[in-house]
């Protein structure tokens, strides 16, 4: 909430009921000698978390010299300060946050003219929404079933200026509600609803079966925000001339106009936060699980490849050692084509080559292939030399 004057003034504030926050004073020009705050800076006064009925006398009871005789901004910032009433912040000055948020509860009261219902007599409101919705059934070629389908073919929304006022007349100041259609939760009451079924002939039914679409009818709905409805608004509070206005926040925060009370709105947001936390935890857990299995599979693959390389290296070293011991001895005619020392003892199928000993066959890498024709070995028949 901002109070702005272009010349020195004695603060005149209408009564206003708000929840706890922080009252900030920002100087636009250097203050008088009795003002302790530097120019263009702010002084913070913490407010209680429970609702406080603000009047001029209440604000002056804060004993703040900056409230008199100086051009300044006053801002009610935040919800839920836990300082006792009248407590003051340390004397240092801070720049004010850009957004002033507040919660206002009251009954809907029209500023000028009201909107009348087109279908219900003596039903007046400040927001009227007329909707025409088409209902039809569409053939699903995948599941081979008829699925219900709804489509809004026309929607019109009318609004009238309105305030949120205390239930008792003269009990407090009214707050003007700005841009109600931008609210995330605009509670509208359905005052009229009628379904007009479509009349179809046999030819129409046959054509609908061929086209895959069967219209069911048109639903006509009228929703209104009635005068006298108890409404809770959460948004940015500003003071324009002598009117306190509730408008959408400028920093992308959500704007609420709901028939539920503030505690219910708070519980709903907390439940949404808990749900998102659970989804984030499950998503993180699933990601970690997938990464764990992928890393384990990669580790096993590398370990197996390293084992095969080690076996091949051991076999090569053994072959070199055997060749050195033989010292270029004569190679027998039936020697293995791989090690050239042992006798051939394996018949590879399906190619039928006899070219390897048993030890060399076992050392072949998987999948095993014939060293002569490179054909895959499906069976091995042992060969006995007489």
- Cα–Cα distance measured from residue 100 to residue 82, given in angstroms and rounded to the nearest whole number: 18
Position 14 scores a pLDDT of 39
Q: What is the per-residue pLDDT across 206-259, written as a single tens digit (0 to 9) for each?
A: 888 888 888 889 999 999 998 888 888 888 888 888 888 888 888 778 888 888
pLDDT at 44 over 50: no
Mean pLDDT of 51-70: 41
- One domain, residues 338 and 274: no
End-to-end CA distance of the chain: 109
> For strand 42-46 and strand 230-240, is the pairing parallel, antiparallel, or unpaired?
unpaired
More confident position, 97 or 360: 360
- What is the pLDDT, as a whole number, of residue 331? 62
d(CA 293, CA 321) in angstroms, rounded, equals 42
Q: How far apart are CA 62 and CA 43, in angstroms?
A: 12
User: How far from the centroid of its chain's Cα atoms is residue 78's Cα?
Assistant: 23
Domain boundary among 97, 124, 143: 97
Instruction: Please name which of 68, 162, 165, 176 lies closest in space to residue 115, comparing C-alpha atoms.
Output: 162
Instruction: Indicate whether 193 belongs to any domain.
Output: yes
Average pLDDT over every residue of 162-168 = 85
Confidence of residue 329 (pLDDT cuts 50, 70, 90): low
The answer, yes or no, to whether residue 317 has pLDDT greater than 60, is yes
Phi, psi of 210 (to 5 degrees): -70, -40
- Per mean pLDDT, which range of 49-63, 146-160, 249-263 is the poorest? 49-63
- The residues, ordered by sequence, that sit 6+ positions from 350 with a Cβ below 8 Å of its Cβ are 375, 378, 379
Same domain, 164 and 187: yes
Indicate the residue among 97, 118, 147 that finishes a domain.
97
Nearest in space to 45 (alpha carbons), one of 32, 28, 33, 58: 58
Q: Which residues of 57-91 are buried (b: 16+ CB within 10 A; e: fewer)?
A: eebeebebbbbbbbebbbbbbbbebeeeeeeebee
Domain co-membership, 147 together with 185: yes
Looking at the fold, whether 113 and 189 belong to one and the same domain comes out as: yes
> Region 311-330: what's the mean pLDDT?
76
Question: Of 62, 97, 132, which residue is a domain's last?
Answer: 97
Of the candidates 167, 179, 233, the residue with the CA atom closest to the CA atom of residue 18: 233
Name the CA radius of gyration of the chain, rounded.
Answer: 42
Same domain, 282 and 378: no
Instruction: Give the number of residues written for the chain.
Output: 386
Confidence band of 330 (pLDDT split at 50, 70, 90)? low
Q: Same domain for 40 and 138?
A: no
42 has a pLDDT exceeding 80: no
pLDDT at 61 over 60: no
Claim to verify: residue 270 and residue 207 sit in the same structural domain: no
Q: DSSP E strands: which ranges in the chain?
A: 16-18, 22-27, 42-46, 52-54, 72-77, 101-110, 115-116, 124-140, 145-159, 162-165, 175-177, 185-186, 189-197, 213-226, 230-240, 243-247, 256-258, 346-349, 379-382
pLDDT band at 4 (very low <50, low <70, confident <90, very high): very low
Examine residue 76 and state whether it is found in any structural domain, yes or no: yes
Of 7 and 109, the structure prediction assigns the larger pLDDT to: 109
Q: Is the pLDDT of residue 110 over 90?
A: no
Phi, psi torsion values for 176, nearest 5 degrees? -80, 130
Can you tell me the distance from the alpha carbon of 243 to that of 245, in angstroms, rounded to the nearest whole number?
Answer: 6
**What's 364's domain CATH number?**
3.30.40.10
- DSSP bridge pairs for 175: 164, 244
Q: Which two tokens stand for residue 70?
A: 């100086």
Asked if 47 and 22 touch (Cβ cutoff 8 Å), the reply is: yes
SS3 320: helix
The pLDDT value given to residue 252 = 74
Position 100 scores a pLDDT of 66
Cis upstream peptide for 367 (omega within 30°): yes
Range of the domain at 372: 330-386
Counted domains in the chain:
4
Instruction: Tell me the average pLDDT across 264-282.
Output: 91
| Whether residues 145 and 185 fall in one domain | yes
Taking the C-alpha atoms of residue 344 and residue 347, their distance in angstroms, rounded to an integer, is 9
């Amino acid at each position: 909430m901002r109070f702005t004057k272009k010349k020195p003034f004695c603060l005149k504030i209408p009564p206003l009921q708000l929840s706890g926050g922080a009252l900030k004073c920002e100087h636009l020009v250097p203050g008088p000698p009795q003002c302790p705050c530097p120019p263009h800076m702010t002084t913070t006064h913490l407010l209680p978390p429970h609702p406080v009925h603000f009047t001029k006398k209440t604000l002056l009871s804060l004993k703040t010299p900056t409230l008199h005789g100086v051009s300044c901004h006053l801002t009610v910032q935040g919800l839920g300060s836990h300082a006792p009433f009248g407590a003051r912040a340390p004397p240092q000055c801070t720049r004010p946050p850009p957004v002033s948020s507040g919660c206002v509860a009251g009954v809907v009261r029209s500023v000028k003219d009201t909107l009348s219902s087109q279908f219900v007599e003596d039903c007046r409101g400040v927001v009227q929404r007329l909707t025409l919705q088409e209902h039809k059934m569409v053939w699903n070629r995948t599941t081979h079933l008829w699925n219900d389908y709804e489509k809004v073919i026309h929607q019109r929304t009318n609004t009238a200026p309105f305030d949120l006022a205390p239930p008792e007349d003269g009990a407090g100041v009214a707050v003007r509600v700005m841009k109600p259609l931008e609210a995330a939760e605009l509670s509208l009451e359905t005052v009229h609803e009628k379904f007009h079924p479509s009349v179809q002939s046999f030819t129409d039914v046959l054509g609908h079966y061929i086209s895959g679409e069967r219209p069911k009818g048109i639903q006509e709905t009228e929703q209104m925000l009635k005068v006298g409805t108890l409404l809770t608004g959460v948004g940015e509070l500003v003071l324009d001339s002598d009117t306190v206005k509730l408008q959408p926040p400028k920093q992308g925060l959500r704007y609420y106009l709901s028939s539920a009370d503030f505690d219910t709105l708070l519980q709903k947001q907390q439940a949404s936060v808990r749900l998102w936390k659970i989804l984030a935890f499950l998503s993180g857990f699933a990601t970690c699980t997938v990464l764990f299995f992928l890393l384990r599979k990669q580790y096993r693959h590398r370990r197996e490849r390293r084992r095969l390389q080690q076996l091949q290296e051991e076999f090569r070293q053994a072959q070199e050692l055997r060749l050195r011991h033989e010292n270029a001895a004569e190679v027998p005619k039936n020697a293995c084509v791989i090690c050239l020392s042992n006798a051939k003892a394996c018949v590879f199928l399906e190619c039928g080559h006899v070219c390897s000993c048993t030890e060399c066959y076992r050392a072949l890498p998987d999948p095993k292939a014939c060293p002569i024709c490179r054909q895959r070995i499906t069976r091995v028949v042992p060969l006995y030399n007489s």
